[in-house]
């Protein structure tokens, strides 16, 4: 029983890592948005979007990890 609980906890920790990393990628590569009531002088150019498909990568990782925890 303890081994199964340890495996489940490891899967939960892995899912937490996957979610945190996906949020980090969103923050890093998301285009900035403008607020209509907040005027700020100066403009920043948005970063280039990376060639890698992070959406597909993280959806695959999250789905694979969730399937393992069900088994």
Does the residue 37 lie in any domain? no
CB 54 within 8 A of CB 22: yes
Q: Give residue-wise pLDDT tens across range 48-58.
A: 555 678 888 88
* Residue of 47 and 11 predicted with greater confidence: 11
User: CA-CA distance, 40 to 36, in Å (whole number)?
Assistant: 10
Indicate the number of domains in the chain: 1
* Residue of 23 and 33 predicted with greater confidence: 23
Residue 21 scores a pLDDT above 70: yes
Segments forming the whole domain that contains residue 18: 1-29+54-71
Is residue 35 packed enough to be buried (19+ CB in 10 Å), middle (13-18) or exposed (0-12)?
A: exposed
Residue 41 scores a pLDDT above 80: no
Does the residue 35 lie in any domain? no
Does the residue 41 lie in any domain? no
pLDDT of residue 19: 92
Handedness of CA 66, 70, 11, 67 (dihedral sign): negative
User: CA-CA distance, 22 to 24, in Å (whole number)?
Assistant: 5
pLDDT of residue 17: 94
């Amino acid at each position: 029983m303890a081994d199964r609980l340890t495996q489940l906890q490891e899967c939960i920790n892995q899912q937490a890592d996957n979610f945190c990393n996906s949020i980090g990628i969103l923050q890093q590569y998301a285009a900035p948005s403008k607020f209509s009531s907040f005027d700020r002088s100066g403009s920043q150019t948005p970063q280039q979007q990376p060639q890698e498909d992070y959406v597909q990568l993280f959806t695959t990782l999250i789905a694979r990890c969730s399937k393992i925890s069900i088994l």
